[in-house]
Amino acid sequence: MTLLSRLGFLLLKAVPTVFIVVTLSFFFVQLAPGDIADYIAASSGAATEEGTSALRESLGLDRPILEQLLHYYGTLAQFSLGQSMRFDVPVTELIAARLPSTLLLVGTSITLALALGIAAGAVMALNAGRSKDRLLSAVTLVLYSIPSFWIGLMLIIVFAVQLGWLPTGGAEKIGSRASGFSYLLERGRYLLLPSLALASYYIAIYARLTRSSMLEVIRQDHVRTAVAKGLNRWQVSLRHIVRNALIPVSTMAGMHIAGILGGAVVVETVFSWPGMGRLTYEAINARDYVLLLGILLTSAFVVIIANILVDLLHRVLDPRIGARA
């Protein structure tokens, strides 16, 4: 199967998933006590009964629920997620403004987690049973047990408050005029702590996964052959062991995108990072269900797209996968 036809297949397969996710999310939000009209009435303070019902009518909330669902499909088909009740702008606009910084944070975290996790896992596997392995195993198990928001707060206490090396939060200096390399450096200073906090849990997962997967590969015949051929330790480790051991790791990384996006909600709140996570927090506090529904759907779309990309990447990295199917 060529990459293009695989892409077509995956996109087609995603259609029913998207449809069901949309429908489920719609009904989840319907569970809410009271509706948007009630909320607007309550926040404006002096709303009359007639005013509220007029509002309900203008928002289409008085219609039967199936009709509302069909109407919702209709708006989605036009790539609209509706109007945010709190901010009174289209939800797509709000999300579009926040999505890039979340993707930046999530992307950096995954990269960090993979790099540090695989490195730690490789060191552990190559020294299996020795003190280096034991120490790193203990460290990863601790990292695996710390809530990401708390590790974020600890990083703030140490690196921002005590040492004063890095900023406590935000995404860039307000009114900064830095450009070029110094701009990147400045963004990096803001990005480092939140992405580390978000990555910590996954560093531990990838380290443990790489370790066990490498220990499995080490026993295989092709590794013995490579050693017998007289390749040096580094060549064997990197080209014959690590490379093969990474296949399960990359599969898992694809599955973790949903989890990391969820973790971003909390970490962004800790670091006042202006992304979707903070938007979620704002939407919760405002009881803006239209916005929440939009965020839920967008995150699900991001996960679907990311999984398709991981699937295609897999085929490029490991030609056996396409051949087998």
Partner 1 sequence: MTPLEIDPNIARRYREPGAGVFDPALGSRNRWGGIRFLKTPSAALATAILAFGILTAIVGPILRPGDPLRITGEPLIQPFVDWAHPLGTDVLGRDLFSGVLFGARVSLLVGLSVAFISLVVGVLIGAIAGYAGGWIDWVVTRGIEIFQTIPGFVLLVVLVSVLEPSATTVIIGLALISWDAVARLTRAEVINHRSREYVLAAETSGVSGPRILFGEILPNIAPTLIVTASIIVASAILAESALSFLGLGDPNAASWGSMIGSGREQIRSYWFPTVIPGAFIVVTVFALNVLGDALNDFLNPRSNG
The residue behind tokens 């996968």 is: 321
Q: Is 212 in the site for partner 1 (CB under 8 A)?
A: yes
Q: Which is nearer to partner 1, 45 or 129 (CB)?
A: 129
Q: Which among 100, 54, 53 has a CA at the least distance from the CA of 264?
A: 100
59 vs 283, beta carbon nearer partner 1: 283
Using rule CB under 8 A, residue 6 touches partner 1: no
Count of C-beta atoms within a 10 Å radius of residue 112 = 19
Other Cβ atoms within 10 Å of 200 Cβ, number: 26
Give the position of tokens 């709140």: 269
Stretch in the footprint of partner 1 (CB under 8 A) among 71-79, 84-92, 234-242, 291-299 = 291-299
Residue of 161, 184, 238, 316 that binds partner 1 (CB under 8 A) = 161
In this chain, which of 101, 108, 195, 280 binds partner 1, going by CB under 8 A?
280
CA pair distance 267, 197, nearest whole angstrom: 7
Q: Which of the stretches 53-61, 73-81, 213-221, 315-323 binds partner 1 when contact is defined by CB under 8 A?
A: 213-221
Collapse the DSSP code of 264 into the 3-class scheme (helix H, G, I; strand E, B; otherwise coil) and give the result.
Answer: helix
Q: How far is the CB of 223 from partner 1 (least distance, A)?
A: 16
Paired tokens of 118: 């695989």
Beta bridge partner(s), residue 83: 90
CB-based contact 194:268 (threshold 8 Å): yes
When the beta carbons of 54 and 139 are compared against partner 1, the nearer one is 139
Out of 6, 287, 314, 315, name the contact with partner 1 by CB under 8 A: 287
- Contacts for 132-139: CB closer than 8 Å, 24+ residues apart: 133/211, 136/207, 137/208, 137/211
Applying CB under 8 A, the residues found at the interface with partner 1 are 16-17, 20-21, 24-25, 28-29, 31-33, 141-142, 144-150, 153-154, 156-157, 161, 168, 208-209, 211-213, 215-216, 255, 258-259, 261-263, 265-266, 269-270, 280-281, 284, 287, 289, 292-293, 295-296, 299-300, 303-304, 307
